[in-house]
């Protein structure tokens, strides 16, 4: 799968999980991995990008004597999540177009 497309889908998966409850990195990796393979080196830049876009915020809490970063979705993140179904419908239209017009996709 194209890496940019995969990152975009992982962003939506992360926002979806955070819409249910705040979470931390390891738990997000575990939960997203139920859907798509993901590593720390993939997740943390995505979290940083989502934070930079004001789609999530970060806070720390002590856990077993250490500080743990927790991520929480913002109103902007919720809006982004709500926009996704329309984007997905557009992607399926694009896929249908490619399938109809490409010999390789029809036969492959």
What is the separation of C-alpha 53 from the centre of its chain, rounded to a whole number of angstroms? 13
Instruction: Give the angle subtended at the CA of 53 by the CAs of 47 and 58, to the nearest 5°.
Output: 50
Per-residue pLDDT of the chain (108 residues; tens, 9 = 90+): 778 888 899 999 999 999 999 999 999 999 999 999 899 999 999 999 999 999 999 999 999 999 999 999 999 999 999 999 999 999 999 989 988 888 766 665
Residue 101 tokens read as 């017009």
Distance CA 64, CA 68 (A): 9
Supply the pTM of this predicted model.
0.86
Range of the domain at 46: 3-107
Q: How many domains does the chain have?
A: 1
**HSE (CB half, 13 Å, CA atoms) of 81?**
19
User: According to the model, what pLDDT value does residue 108 have?
Assistant: 59
pLDDT of the residue at 62:
93
CATH assignment of the domain containing 45 = 1.10.10.10
């Amino acid at each position: 799968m194209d890496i940019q497309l995969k990152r975009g889908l992982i962003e939506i998966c992360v926002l979806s999980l955070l819409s249910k409850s705040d979470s931390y990195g390891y738990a997000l990796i575990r939960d997203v991995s139920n859907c798509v393979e993901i590593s720390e080196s993939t997740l943390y830049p995505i979290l940083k990008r989502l934070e930079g876009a004001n789609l999530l915020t970060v806070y720390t809490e002590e856990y077993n004597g250490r500080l743990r970063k927790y991520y929480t979705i913002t109103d902007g993140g919720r809006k982004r999540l709500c926009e996704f179904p329309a984007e997905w419908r557009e992607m399926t239209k694009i896929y249908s177009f490619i399938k109809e017009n490409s010999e390789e996709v029809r036969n492959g």
